[in-house]
């Protein structure tokens, strides 16, 4: 079911003590239940501790930043979906642009991660988006369409309905460039059209599509007012409680 969601991706930041203090700061500032799910995507070692903190508050959830594409085996240093589920993880980021860029994750691997996450009861937040060269050539919709088709469109409708999509304009993440509200809305609408062509308008209308391009406390209200923007996948602004709370409060 379509809903507004704000997910904070801490990436490789914060000690455990700092992370727990951040979560406490967010919870203390949000006295009422948020309008939609609030998700903390923490580093692996903190998942269980954060999950325990969030058990007492409805509307708050914990996510892993990644998972392995095999169920188990001799993969030193990797973490399986079973491991994530066993410590209380509810969501998992799959296909983040940094994973694609630095770890050369392929669309085929991401499809396998999606399948495993769904099989084990985790809710995937699937990231997609184009680099600057693709945007400048004007082929960004086709580029993102290939990502969706290769990693998601094999799913049956019932499983696809469990997917949250996060659009990341890679060229607007940590580069000093910013995507306009109009550019964000345009791309979200295009993604919804792609989903509608595959699964029908009803499924497309029910799919939450988050914006992940340098969303912050200042631009979140305008972004979240757009008809096809259903919240945000937040990076740097999720590391300060007051900033993250301002973004959460921007949910319509």
- Per residue in 10-45, is it b (16+ CB within 10 Å) or e — as a string? bbeebeeeebbebbeebbeebeeebbbbbbbbbbee
> 206 is written with which tokens?
């029910």
With 0-12 / 13-18 / 19 or more C-beta atoms within 10 angstroms meaning exposed / middle / buried, residue 227 is exposed
Four-point Cα dihedral 244, 140, 95, 122, nearest 10: 70
168 classed as catalytic? yes
Four-point Cα dihedral 227, 233, 239, 243, nearest 10: 0
Task: Identify the active-site residue in 90, 98, 130, 168.
Answer: 168
Cα–Cα distances in Å, from 56 out to 29, 52, 63, 89, 172?
Answer: 15, 8, 17, 15, 36
186 classed as catalytic? no
Cβ of 104: how many Cβ atoms within 10 Å?
A: 8
Question: Phi then psi for 91, rounded to 5 degrees?
Answer: -115, 160
Task: Identify the active-site residue in 96, 105, 130, 188.
Answer: 96
**Where does the chain have alpha helices with state H?**
16-29, 47-54, 81-86, 97-103, 107-119, 132-137, 140-151, 157-160, 181-199, 201-206, 220-224, 241-249
SS3 64: strand
Report the catalytic residues.
Answer: 96, 168
């Amino acid at each position: 079911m379509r809903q507004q969601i704000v997910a904070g991706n801490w990436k490789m930041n914060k000690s455990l003590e700092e992370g727990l203090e951040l979560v406490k700061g967010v919870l203390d500032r949000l006295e009422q239940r948020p309008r939609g799910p609030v998700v903390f995507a923490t580093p692996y070692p903190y998942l269980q501790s954060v999950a325990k903190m969030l058990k007492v508050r409805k509307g708050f959830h914990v996510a892993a930043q990644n998972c392995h594409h095999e169920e188990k085996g001799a993969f030193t240093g990797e973490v399986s979906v079973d491991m994530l589920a066993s410590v209380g993880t509810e969501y998992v980021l799959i296909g983040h642009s940094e994973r694609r860029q630095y770890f050369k994750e392929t669309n085929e691997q991401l499809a396998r991660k999606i399948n495993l996450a769904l099989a084990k009861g985790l809710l995937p937040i699937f990231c997609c988006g184009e680099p600057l060269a693709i945007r400048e050539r004007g082929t960004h919709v086709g580029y993102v369409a290939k990502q969706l088709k290769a990693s998601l469109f094999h799913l049956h409708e019932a499983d696809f309905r469990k997917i949250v999509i996060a659009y990341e304009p890679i060229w607007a993440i940590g580069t000093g460039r910013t995507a306009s509200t109009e550019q964000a809305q345009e791309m979200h609408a295009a993604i919804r059209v792609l989903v509608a062509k595959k699964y029908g308008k009803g499924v497309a209308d029910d799919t939450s599509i988050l914006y992940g391009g340098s969303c912050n406390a200042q631009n979140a209200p305008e972004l979240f007012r757009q008809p096809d923007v259903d919240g945000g996948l937040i990076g740097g602004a999720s590391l300060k409680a007051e900033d993250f709370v301002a973004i959460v409060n921007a949910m319509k």
